[in-house]
């Protein structure tokens, strides 16, 4: 019985091969993205194959037959059955139109017989609804890296030799691509991403094949890390220097910020036994305002932490440059005019980074006429300017002329400061 079926099938195929494929008719596939010809192992002819990119909504393949035959035509559509090797009835219509279309086609080979009068045209083609299933996951996430992992399911495209029924699998040549926005991260299915971002970030898995069909899947990385960052203002000034440290860290926990103020760099260099990371002070706060009481060069470090379950991720950042706290200095004018005109009426002395200051004023005979003293001079970020004498002695105007001053003090750099000189008291108005 099997031999009889095979003989009948071969006789049928031989009859079909003898039937002329008359010119003037063609099969097209509107909406297809790719076309190539079959490479049948035994069957001598070639048929076109049309590839459609589809999603999960259903088959999108379609075929349109056109002919130049005149008059009313019979269109008989058939679909190849790879089990029996025969073409089974699919659809028929009679119409005067020069085209006939079938849509929503499942994968397979379709044949149409176009008959008008005594003339028949036979057209044949394969169609495939091409899809590639993909899954994107983050399979591991820790403080150092996380893993992007793609799982691919290649839905095979198979056609059959029309004489031997031998299956032929089309090579899809699947390619993967991980993207973050417009940037390509990797062409591998599995990618470890080091230095994870400190905010939730979406990644896209793109899967393409040689036909141009694409599948994309999005996956979101939920950040468990933090990025430490801060700014300091001002970066320099006289002591005591009050500096505001603004915390710009990303994704840190408010109660887990730690500030470290290192000791003066010059002080560390002087004593080799002092560790380079010797700490002057620490603080636990989101932002920090710190007053550097002593002159020197200081480095500051911020440690930001993010706790997720039992995991605590830490990031550390150092200030880009040193905090420079000025050394001590005293500037004394050589003239003042206490004449009540509102300009330069007082003997004004400027201090940089001074802690203790005593200023004594003497007349030409060496008698002390005025003393100004402070044991806690504070100028912060602005130079300290102090009116140390208004030009009066015992409430009465001092005589114009030359006076002698002596400045004694201790700077916030620990240095003793001593300065002396003449100052001219001018009374007359211009």
Can you give the pLDDT at residue 228? 98
pLDDT band at 16 (very low <50, low <70, confident <90, very high): very low
Q: Give ∠ CA 272-276-278 in degrees, rounded to 5.
A: 105
Residues 307-344: pLDDT tens digits?
Answer: 999 999 999 999 999 999 877 778 899 999 998 888 99
The least confident of 42-46, 214-218, 340-344, 380-384 is 380-384
Rg of the chain taking only CA atoms, in angstroms: 46
Contacts within 8 Å (CB) and 24+ apart, 104-107: 104/58, 104/59, 104/60, 104/61, 104/62, 105/59, 105/61, 105/62, 105/63, 105/129, 106/59, 106/61, 107/59, 107/61, 107/157, 107/158
- Architecture label for domain 19-130: Sandwich (2.60)
Give yes or no for a contact between 389 and 344, defined as CB atoms under 8 angstroms apart.
Answer: no
CA distance 45 to 48: 10
- Average pLDDT over the chain reads 89
- The dotted CATH code for 132-221 is 2.60.40.10
Query: How big is the chain, counted in residues?
Result: 430
Share of the chain above pLDDT 70, in %: 92
On the question of a common fold for 19-130 and 329-425, the answer reads yes
- φ/ψ of residue 197, rounded to 5: -70, 155
pLDDT at 325: 86
pLDDT tens figures, 378-421: 654 456 778 899 999 988 999 999 999 999 988 887 788 888 88
Give residue-wise pLDDT tens across range 74-93. 999 999 999 999 999 999 99
Structural domain boundaries in the chain: 19-130, 132-221, 230-325, 329-425
How far apart CA 184 and CA 193 sit, in angstroms, is 12
Q: Which of 3.30.1960.10, 2.60.40.2550, 3.40.50.2000, 2.60.40.10 is the CATH number of 329-425?
A: 2.60.40.2550
Distance CA 368, CA 287 (A): 49
| Contact (CB, 8 A) for 349 and 330 | yes
Asked whether the predicted pLDDT for residue 303 surpasses 70, the reply is yes
Range 132-137 average pLDDT:
95
């Amino acid at each position: 019985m099997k031999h009889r079926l095979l003989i009948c099938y071969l006789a049928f195929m031989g009859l079909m091969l003898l039937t002329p494929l008359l010119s003037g008719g063609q099969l097209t596939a509107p909406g297809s993205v790719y076309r190539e010809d079959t490479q049948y192992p035994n069957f001598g002819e070639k048929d076109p194959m049309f590839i459609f990119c589809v999603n999960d909504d259903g088959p999108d393949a379609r075929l349109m037959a056109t002919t130049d035959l005149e008059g009313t035509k019979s269109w008989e559509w058939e679909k190849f059955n790879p089990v029996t090797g025969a073409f089974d009835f699919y659809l028929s219509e009679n119409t005067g139109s020069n085209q006939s279309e079938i849509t929503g086609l499942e994968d397979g080979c379709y044949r149409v017989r176009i008959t008008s009068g005594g003339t028949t045209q036979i057209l044949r083609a394969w169609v495939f609804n091409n899809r590639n299933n993909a899954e994107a996951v983050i399979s591991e996430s820790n403080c150092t890296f996380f893993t992007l992992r793609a799982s691919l399911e290649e839905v095979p495209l198979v056609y059959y030799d029309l004489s031997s029924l031998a299956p032929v699998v089309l090579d899809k040549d699947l390619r993967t691509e991980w993207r973050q926005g417009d940037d390509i991260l990797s062409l591998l299915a599995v990618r470890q991403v080091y230095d994870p971002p400190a905010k939730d970030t979406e990644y896209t898995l793109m899967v393409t094949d040689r036909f141009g069909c694409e599948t994309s899947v999005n996956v979101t990385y939920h950040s468990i890390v933090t990025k430490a960052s801060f700014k300091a203002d001002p970066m320099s000034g006289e002591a005591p220097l009050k500096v505001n440290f603004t915390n710009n860290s990303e994704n840190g926990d408010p109660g887990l910020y730690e500030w470290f103020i290192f000791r003066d760099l010059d002080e560390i260099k002087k004593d080799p036994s002092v560790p380079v990371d010797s700490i002057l002070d620490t603080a636990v706060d989101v932002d920090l305002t710190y007053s550097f009481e002593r002159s020197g060069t200081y480095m500051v470090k911020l440690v930001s932490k993010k706790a997720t379950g039992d995991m605590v991720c830490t990031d550390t950042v150092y200030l880009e440059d040193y905090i420079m706290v000025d050394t001590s200095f005293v500037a004394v004018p050589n003239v003042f005019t206490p004449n009540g005109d509102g300009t330069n009426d007082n003997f004004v002395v400027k201090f940089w980074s001074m802690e203790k200051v005593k200023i004594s004023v003497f007349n030409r005979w060496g008698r002390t006429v005025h003393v100004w003293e402070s044991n806690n001079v504070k100028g912060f970020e602005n130079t300290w300017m102090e009116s140390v004498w208004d030009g009066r002695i015992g409430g009465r105007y001092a005589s114009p002329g030359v006076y002698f001053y002596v400045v004694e003090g201790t700077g916030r750099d620990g240095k003793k400061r001593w300065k002396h000189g003449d100052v001219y008291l001018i009374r007359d108005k211009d």
